[in-house]
Amino acid sequence: MHLAPNLAKITQEQLVFAAAVLLFFVFSLAIPGFSTLGNLSQILERVTVVGIFALGASIVVISGGLDLSQVGSAMAGGGMTVLLLNSGWSLPLSLAAGLLVCVFIGIINGYIIAFVEIPDFFATLATNLLIFGVARLLIFSHDFRIYLNHSALQSFFFTILGARLLAIPVTAFIFLLLVVLLYLFMRSTTIGRTLYAIGDNSRTARENGVPIRSYTILKYTLSAIFGYIAALAFLSTIHNIDAGVMIGTMIFDVILIVVLGGVSLVGGRGTPISVLIGTILIGLLLNGMTLLNLNNDLQDVARGAVLLIAIVVDNRLHPRNEETARKGE
Amino acid sequence: MFKSFTRILVVVLLMWTTGASAQLNDAPHQQWNQDIVGKSIVYIPVSLSLPLMNIWNDELKLLASEAGIKFTTLDPNLNVNKENQMIASLIPKKPDLIIVHNPDRQALARVLKAANDAGIYVIQINMGSTYQSDAFIGVDAYDLGVKMGNAAAQACEAPGAPSKNLALVTGSLVSQFSIDQVKGQMAALAKHPDLKVVTKQVVNWDPKTDFDKVSTIVDAHKDLCAIVDEYDGEAVGAARALAIAGLTGKTKLITSGAGGKFACEHAASGQIDVNFSYQARDQAIQFMTVAQYLLESHIKPGTVKTTIYTPSFEITKENMQDMGCK
């Protein structure tokens, strides 16, 4: 079924943006204090971590993949950083070690998918369980949740990361900066454009000499690096790293934001701006529902419904039969 | 040199004397060796993802090792079906005793009865079930809720309290422990009609969700006199939200939890104003004591029904030294 020509020209990004604006006005009218600067800052703060995760995940989805282990690897890397800092390691070395853990996991994911040719869904699902088990043994062996010690919290790095500028958390500015940087990277560099090309039609890309396997490793590594930045934002917000998050539902929120904004699950479409818009819509929704005092069940219903609508819209705007023809399958 | 020699001598003497005592062959030792040493205990918490169950695990493991008991931990990780299957698959293996933490009153009732019928002792901890096994040992969630509600009323009715408005934060919508605790809180608050609960939030035991929701709440209600937050493991999120909003100490944070170092640190820093601690380490000692009593008793499993409600103590910045905080 095809939409009317005028309607088909509307992108999902535009639809979601319109929905976000509408929701903002509805909540502003319905909830006293919703549109205050303080509350808008809360909205940004609430979605910053998941938004940074979603930026990394969008790189993988745009180039035709899925990374279910991103949150797991991030918490393993973040946990390693906290463990080392609490053991007296220097900040640069602890950060480097945590980043290295994430990069290593990203490379392993990419290798398994590119060279062993395991479908991304199963590969990253399995590696997430593996990471959880190993992290539980080595990093979270005693406590499921490890807290950053007082002296590390007082360091310049975490003081800045946990600070606020004009009532807005610094991590939210970092998120916005990452949106811009990733946008420039994806649109203006050869690597970024190649990632779009692979997502659009991997066979054609391969026939034109693109080293698909190297790019597969690269995209999962980039996803893991963004994950590590998100883990640091998480750490600066609540001062601990939680192993429970590795096997929790945060990864589904990440995918929800990616898909909602208009990064098509079939690959090749969407931008970091789409992710930003999806993040804002989810932030508005969660904040409004909390202020309306809706219970968790209703909040889950709303989130599930939004994800379902986003997938249906994605399917209508980019019908599978056309997509498979485009990919030459 | 002389000091080192003395130290070695003391260690050798200790090893010799403890070795000698282990070889005593009087009636109590015979009974101990026969009924306790080499017996198997399986511990099944709802999840090892929460500090409380980790403290129980560490303490039980230590106590079991000291007593020569084979100790195993199974972690269903908040999966009720998995917990059910774990117990069902344990029955043919016949461990001597199971220490189980119920997710609710119904889920494990049938399989716990089956374990008792198969000759396995069953101790239920902190959350009972509709099937009463050999023993229930744990905190009375309703009573704990009443204490928390009373503490909130006291904070909100104190001179200088910012308002009569308070917020409730609950761990779970489905956990019977949460449900009972909230019932207790509401019963206590019902005696103070001047107080108003402006919001009730559920955070799934997660401090980040707690942080997110409480940040939103305190922005909308800057004059809250108290937040009653079910569990200190999640309430650290609320504490952080209050700190960022500059409300630490103004909006009183009242919670409950396992006690120990965690509770002490947060009381000392003033991030948590009142923490009703059920002293998880002491609880674990009680679990093991009753386990050893049952093993030595030779009573047929499932025939005695013992209930022991463990105490909870208020920890504040003012009394923390008396409550064992260093």
Which pLDDT tens digit goes with each residue over B74-121?
A: 999 878 889 999 999 999 999 999 999 998 888 899 999 999 999 999
In DSSP notation, A10-40 reads: S-HHHHHHHHHHHHHHHHHHHSTTTTSHHHH
Closest CA to B235 of B261, B208, B207: B207
- Inter-chain residue contact B219 with A33, CB threshold 8 Å: yes
| CA A267/CA A60 separation, integer angstroms | 9
Q: Put the strands of the sheet holding B70-73 in their side by side order.
A: B70-73, B40-44, B97-100, B121-125, B135-139, B306-310
- Distance (Å, whole) CA A301 – CA A291: 17
Chain B residues 161-180 with a CB less than 8 Å from chain A: 173
pLDDT at A294: 81
Q: For residue B291, what is the DSSP state?
A: H
Beta strands in chain A (DSSP E): 145-147, 164-165, 168-169, 240-242
The answer to whether B212 faces chain A, any CB pair under 8 Å, is yes
Within 8 A of B200 by CB-CB distance, chain A residues are: 293, 295
* Whether pLDDT at B17 is above 50: no
Residue in B57, B93, B60, B58 with CA at minimum distance from that of residue B75: B57
Tokens matching residue A127 = 């590696």
Query: What is the sign of the dihedral through the CA atoms of B141, B146, B147 and B148?
Result: positive
Are residues B53 and B281 in contact, defined by beta-carbon separation less than 8 angstroms?
no
Whether residue B178 has pLDDT greater than 50: yes
Q: Which residues from chain A sit within 8 angstroms of residue B216, using beta carbons?
A: 39, 42, 46, 287, 290-291
How many Cα atoms are found within 13 Å in the side-chain-facing hemisphere of B300? 4
Report the phi/psi class of residue B38: left, alpha or beta, with left for phi > 0 and alpha for psi in -120 to 50.
left
> From A237, which residue of chain B is nearest by alpha-carbon distance?
B240
Tell me whether residues B207 and A46 touch, CB distance under 8 A: no
pLDDT number for residue B1: 46
Phi, psi of B64 (to 5 degrees): -65, -45
In 3D space, the residue among B77, B81, B71, B72 whose CA is nearest the CA of residue B48 turns out to be B77
Identify all chain A residues contacting B202, using CB atoms and an 8 Å cutoff: 295-296
Write out the two tokens for A17.
């943006």
Provide the CA B42 distance to its chain's centre, in angstroms.
Answer: 18
Average pLDDT, chain B: 88
**Shortest Cα distance, chain B CAs vs residue A238, angstroms:** 6
Q: How far apart are the CA of B246 and the nearest CA of chain A, in angstroms?
A: 12
Instruction: Please name every residue paired with B71 in a beta bridge, in sequence order, or none if there are none.
Output: B41
The mean pLDDT of B142-171, rounded to a whole number, is 95
DSSP state of B97: E
| Closest C-alpha to B201, from A34, A31, A290 | A290
The amino acid occupying position B91 is I
The set of residues, in sequence order, having a beta carbon less than 8 Å from that of B165 and lying 6+ positions away, is B156, B195, B196, B197, B198, B221, B223, B224, B225
Q: Read off the pLDDT of residues B217-270 as tens digits, 9 standing for 90 and up.
A: 998 888 999 999 999 888 989 999 999 999 999 999 999 988 877 778 888 888
Contact list in A for residue B49 (CB cut-off 8 A) is: 144, 243-244
- Taking the C-alpha atoms of residue A225 and residue A73, their distance in angstroms, rounded to an integer, is 9
- Model pLDDT, residue B112: 96
Q: Would you tell me how many other CB atoms lie within 10 Å of the CB of residue B198?
A: 16
Please give the model's pTM, rounded to 2 decimal places. Answer: 0.81
Q: What is the pLDDT of residue A328?
A: 45
- The DSSP H or E segment spanning B100 is strand B97-100
Alpha-carbon separation of residue B100 from A122, A213, B52, B110, B308 (angstroms): 33, 49, 14, 13, 15
Strands B196-202 and B226-229: unpaired
Using a CB-CB cut-off of 8 Å, the residues of chain B touching A164 are 244
Note the pLDDT of residue A268. 76
As a whole-number percent, the residues of chain B with pLDDT over 90 amount to: 61
Nearest CA in chain A to B209: A46
**Contact residues on chain A for B178, CB-CB shorter than 8 A:** none
Please return the burial class of A226, using the count of CB atoms within 10 Å of its CB with bins 0-12, 13-18 and 19+. buried
Interface of B with A in 263-282 (CB under 8 A): none
Residue in this structure with the two tokens 């319109």, named with its chain if needed: A18
What's the CA gap between B241 and B219, in Å, rounded? Answer: 10
Is B216's CB within 8 Å of A143's CB?
A: no
Contacts of A49 in chain B (CB under 8 A): 208
Please tell me the predicted confidence (pLDDT) of residue B3: 52
With contact defined as beta carbons under 8 Å apart, do B293 and B315 qualify? no
pLDDT of residue A215: 94
CA distance A243 to chain B (A): 8
What single DSSP character describes residue B201? E
HSE-up (13 A, CA, CB side) for residue A15: 19
- Taking a C-beta distance cutoff of 8 angstroms, is the pair A222, A59 a contact? yes
Please count the residue pairs, one from chain A and one from chain B, whose beta carbons lie less than 8 angstroms apart. 72
Tokens of B101: 């933490």
Residues B136, B322: contact at Cβ < 8 Å?
no
Give chain B's radius of gyration (CA, Å).
23
Q: What is the pLDDT along chain A (329 residues), one digit of tens a residue?
A: 454 555 556 777 888 888 889 989 999 998 888 888 888 888 888 899 999 999 999 999 999 899 999 999 999 999 999 999 999 999 999 999 999 999 999 999 999 999 998 998 999 999 999 999 899 888 887 777 888 888 888 889 999 998 888 888 999 999 999 999 999 999 999 999 999 999 888 888 888 888 999 999 999 999 999 999 999 999 998 888 988 888 888 898 899 899 888 787 777 788 999 999 999 998 998 888 888 888 777 777 887 888 788 778 777 776 665 555 554 44
Say which DSSP state A173 is in.
H
